[in-house]
Copies of this chain bind each other. A is one copy, B any other.
Amino acid sequence: MSDTGLAPRRGRGRRQARDGSPGQNPHLERPYITRAIPTYDILGDEALDRIDATADRIMAEIGIEFRDDPDTVEMFRRAGGEVTQLDPARWTIKFAPGLIREILKSAPAQFTQHARNPARSVEIGGDNVVFAPSYGSPFVMDLDKGRRYGTLGDFQNFVKLGQASPWLHHSGGTVCEPTDIPVNKRHLDMVYAHMRYSDRPFLGSITAPERAADSVEMCRVLFGADYVDRNCVIMGNFNTTSPLVIDGVTSQGIREYARAGQGSIHLPFLLGGAVSPLTMAGSVAQCLAESMVSCAIAQLERPGAPVVLASFLSSMSLRSGSPTFGTAEPALGSLVYGQLARRLNLPLRCAGNFSTSKLPDAQAMQQSMMSMMSAIHCGANFLLHSAGFLDGLLSMSYEKFMLDLDLCGALHAYLDGVAVNEDTLGFDALAEQGPGEHLFSTQHTMRHYKTAYYDSALDDNQPWETWDEQGAVDMASRANTRWKAQLAAYEMPPMDVAVDEALKDFVARRKASMEDAWY
């Protein structure tokens, strides 16, 4: 390991020179981005006030339904929630205006999620931007083998491809479902894969409280129990059951992470017209209400536990009723949601490289860009689904993963904004030769030519004739070539052998302790 904590590697790290192959931008590499451009605020205060008031009204007059978790209900009752029991396992809780916002005041505006490689820890919140891969697809696809159920091998591949790229900052969570592993044991292999094949931060399991506990326990093996109690080293990504329901597995899981001082992301997954109002103002108000109440569970369990306000806004095809991702209206919704998150002073997860396309084609990147740029502009801090998303989140695509990574690289340059100083204003470059003369050989050009523009690994910018002679290859095919090369060149980050053995031992013991379950 070098003194940066990174394994020395071709093209990795600021000290490495570029070797002339495409896609190297050592000057842009960093463990996470701190944005140098402002957020894009599209609504004025009065409109935001109305959305905030509607969220408060939803919490106060309709309330949130809780299921199968009397402890969480009791916690809210003690905090002042107005509880109505619907049946033995269902309660509605109404929250007086201001109650939830008061509870959320204990949540940090920004926190560190620590990586096992300290040089790769990330800051979540404030002006920081963290890219993480897509999450939760049962299928994987590539141009060679098409679409099929994901396996642990695929899962490991995506972790390795992420690790090999400088443009992700976080290893993610369920990068695909390893459907060849029993449902009740998957989380052990997934968490181990993130720990072993990546040295970046990652997400743990949320599908059952005991799997959340296992995820945290494995962190105690990796980081040490004291360290884990004092630092956020893992997060869980929790979904509400929209509209306006939080089920017991979710609320118990949230409390599991919070109790351990670990992070949690609080995500309403809103298909407009299906589980939220079709109109964006309404979807955003509902999203805010659900996410705030979900965040409040963590704050009541352990005040100060890191939480991330979140949204996943989508639309639908009004002809078929199919959900649509990466469309214009949810992009606007995300911009508004960013403004509301800043009012709450909470870190934000929002949008990503969404698409309903079934191929890494024009639709895939048109939709991805619409969604991703909204995340970039709205001030999102944690961008899950930054790479691989296709097929309405049903499939993780190897080629789309590479396309998205290349875009994430470009977004490093974008978020750096425009530097304005004597040097960048370049008056001397123009004065050196005067009107009508090319600037190729000016001192200014010589000084900046290696760093002025992001060098894409996948764009073809050659003349048409050259491109045609070389086989007229499209971008998806170039991505296909690249993921195979990247996977072949993958180098595993070093890990202390005793720690690795202890992790393997933990996984083996937990697996041996239960029968396989496939549901």
Q: Which residues of A contact B (CB under 8 A)?
A: 20, 22, 37-38, 40-43, 47, 50-51, 54, 57-58, 61-65, 92, 139, 147, 241, 243-245, 272-286, 315-324, 327-329, 331-333, 335-336, 356-370, 373, 377, 391-392, 394-395, 403, 407, 410-411, 413-414, 417-421, 423-427, 429-431, 434-440, 444-445, 448-450, 452-456, 458-464, 467-468, 472, 474-476, 479
21 CB contacts below 8 A, A to B, read A22-B319, A54-B425, A54-B427, A65-B435, A139-B464, A243-B439, A274-B438, A276-B439, A277-B424, A279-B448, A281-B421, A282-B426, A318-B452, A320-B461, A322-B462, A329-B453, A359-B474, A362-B362, A363-B459, A366-B369, A367-B459
Roughly how many angstroms separate A484 CA and B333 CA in the complex, as a whole number?
35
Contact A43 B461 (CB under 8 A): no
Contacts of A449 in B (CB 8 A): 273, 278, 318
Contact B357 A430 (CB under 8 A): no
Contact A419 B281 (CB under 8 A): yes
Contact A418 B42 (CB under 8 A): yes
Q: A312: shortest Cβ distance to chain B, in Å? A: 16
Contact A361 B42 (CB under 8 A): no
Contact A58 B394 (CB under 8 A): no
Roughly how many angstroms separate A275 CA and B445 CA in the complex, as a whole number?
11
Roughly how many angstroms separate A243 CA and B445 CA in the complex, as a whole number?
14
Contact B245 A62 (CB under 8 A): no
Chain A binding surface, main DSSP class: mixed
Contact B370 A453 (CB under 8 A): no
Contact A426 B373 (CB under 8 A): no
Q: A281-B426, A448-B279 are in contact. Are A417 and B455 (CB under 8 A)?
A: no
Q: A275-B439, A361-B361, A429-B277 are in contact. Are A461 and B50 (CB under 8 A)?
A: no
Q: A471: shortest Cβ distance to chain B, in Å? A: 11
Contact A411 B367 (CB under 8 A): no
Contact A147 B464 (CB under 8 A): yes
Complex: chain B residue closest to A390, CB-CB? B464
